[in-house]
Amino acid sequence: MNTNALYKEWLEKADYDPDLRKELEEIKDNAEEIADRFYRCLEFGTAGLRGVIGAGTNRMNYYTVCQATQGLSDFLNKNFENPSIAIGYDSRIKSAYFAEEAAKVLAANGIKVYLYKELEPTPCLSFAIRKFKTSSGIILTASHNPGKYNGYKCYDSNGYQMTDEAAAETYEFIQKVDYFTGIKTTDFDEAVKNGMIEYIGEETIQDFLDEVEKQCINKGICKKAGLCVIYTPLNGTGNKPVREILKRIGVEDIRIVPEQELPDGNFPTCPYPNPEIKQVFECAFKITEQVKADIIIATDPDCDRVGIAVPNKNGEYVLMSGNEVGAMMLNYLLSQKKEKGILSPNAVAVKSFVSTDLAEAIAKKYGCAFKNLLTGFKYIGELITNLEAEGRADDFVMGFEESYGYLAGTHARDKDAVVASMLICEMAAFYKMQGKSLVDVMDELYSEFGYYCNTVKSYEFEGAAGMDKMQKIMNTLRENPPKELNGMAVTYIGDYKTSIAKDLENGTETKIDLPKSNVLAYKMAGGNGLIIRPSGTEPKIKAYITAIGESKEASQALAEKLISEADKFMEV
């Protein structure tokens, strides 16, 4: 790719957005900056587009967004007779702008657009797709990435992210679109006037919240317990819907972190607006110096993930992991539904296969069927859709991923921090009435089922050489699989690329009935395990460790040893 030639073309033709013109002028004598912006095009995959906001083919801007939208329009017009689409956006820089420009392109291509009037959580987009029975959906968000990023996720007619096949076909159309001559567009106000763009009204938000509220099991428990909550939307989309749903279920004492309350794509107090990390809770922790809250809740900018901090016995606020919250939530839902006689005899729960196996042990206790699926919430969304098609929607209890994404109910086909925030507060209030904190509850689960230490380690490999090394590591593991890890015999090897699972104890092989993925899983006695999963888009391999012991210290010590074993694999 001739970066200088591309730069000159953009300098000459990219005049629609004045911000781009200014940036291109500023870098005209900087070869390194020019190369970074033009050495490649943003790739469109199942997660859509994601990149730094700015000028160039390797940036999120008017032209890359509209090129993708034109390609998506061509895909929809080929595959649907009268296509329609829902569009949502978050608080990020240019999200609203990109959403409107995308709507103009779609309308110009004869595609009916339902556009949210203001920023809304990602699950609201999934809900709208199903409510309006659209052919597709777009959400402008980069989830919990730093403020310089934005993204463009595409959904199918079921309300979950595009399949690999649909994304590949869409990408083929996108690549045929010229940035400057191939994009159709129209006047926004005219498109609204003639009905090609229709705003999604407040009634849809209320319908969404009504469906979320239906997942409440112990109504009034938050008020009865006098639950005190500190909440931060991290300058994102959760501010209104999360506060509204908590108000509906009786959370009267809720303190909002003022610095992080209003939408702000710069995320001034949380440069990495990710509820998995402690730094995003720092402003909330300051409030606890005056207010001893029962729980702190943080939702990421597009409000599909939620993290919590709760006080331990010493009054110190500690973060709980996504695995812990998922296990507690499942235990709460199953135990309460069973107690109230509303647990379906065919109940099913689900998680990504890299998430804690503690959830499976909990489900077994209550006679709940359990499914492990590939990483990616679309697989959970697909399972719900299949259950619904079989008339079994009420059998779905919940699904979760260790990366802080949860869904109870079938109102959405993506992770939903609105319903998760509601259930976390309800759960905290329920146990508060028993004199327990969520730390106490988690300790009880560990005591009953064993101490599960689930941890993840990432290994980065730079550049093209790094991608080659990653492939070599995976090939080596396939050709010479480990016979033991930390002195424990490997009893099971699951190769998700070949779809073959080997039980090494009895010498049998079975088929893995999941889409193919470049992942290797190893299991040892006692439920201990290691999963090796390379990223398909970044030069990175992740090792997911499960270590189970009779004490917290024992499980953590074993986890460290298994991490050391994973370290050795990366030395190939």
Instruction: Tell me the catalytic residues.
Output: 143
Q: Please report the sign of the dihedral spanned by the C-alpha atoms of residue 309, residue 311, residue 315, residue 318.
A: negative
Contacts with 93 (C-beta within 8 Å, 6 or more apart), sequence order: 53, 147, 150, 265, 266
Amino acid identity of residue 342, one-letter, is: I
Angle 31-38/3-13 helices, nearest 10 degrees? 90
**What are the C-alpha distances in Å from 512 to residues 84, 146, 212, 254?**
36, 37, 34, 46
CA distance 256 to 296: 10
Sequence-ordered list of residues with C-beta below 8 angstroms from that of 395, at least 6 positions apart, any chain: 344, 346, 347, 348, 387
Q: Where in 225-373 does DSSP place strands (E)?
A: 228-232, 253-256, 295-299, 306-311, 317-320, 348-352, 369-373
Q: Distance between CA atoms of 547 and 556, rounded to whole angstroms?
A: 7
- Of 316, 326, 398, nearest to 359 by C-alpha is 326
Do 324 and 357 meet the contact criterion of CB atoms below 8 Å apart?
Answer: no
**Alpha-carbon separation of residue 78 from 87, 151, 198, 274, 465 (angstroms):** 20, 25, 23, 38, 39
The distance in angstroms from the start CA to the end CA of the chain is 32
Which residues pair with residue 298 across a beta bridge? Answer: 232, 307
Determine the longest span between alpha carbons in the chain, in angstroms: 71
Q: CA–CA separation, 340 vs 398, rounded Å?
A: 17
Identify residue 394 by its one-letter amino acid code.
Answer: D
Name the amino acid, one letter, at 282: E
- CA 450 – CA 147 distance, rounded (Å): 40
243, 229 Cβ separation under 8 angstroms? no
With vertex at residue 214, the alpha carbon angle to CA 209 and CA 219, rounded to the nearest 5 degrees, is 105
3-state secondary structure of 187: coil
Q: Residue 146 to residues 336, 395, 418: CA-CA distances in angstroms?
A: 39, 38, 22
Q: List helix spans (H) across 176-281.
A: 188-193, 202-213, 221-225, 239-248
Which are the contacts of 74, defined by CB distance < 8 A and separation ≥ 6?
109, 173, 176, 177
What gap in Å lies between CA 405 and CA 89, rounded to an integer?
19
- HEC sequence for 253-275: EEEECHHHCCCCCCCCCCCCCCC
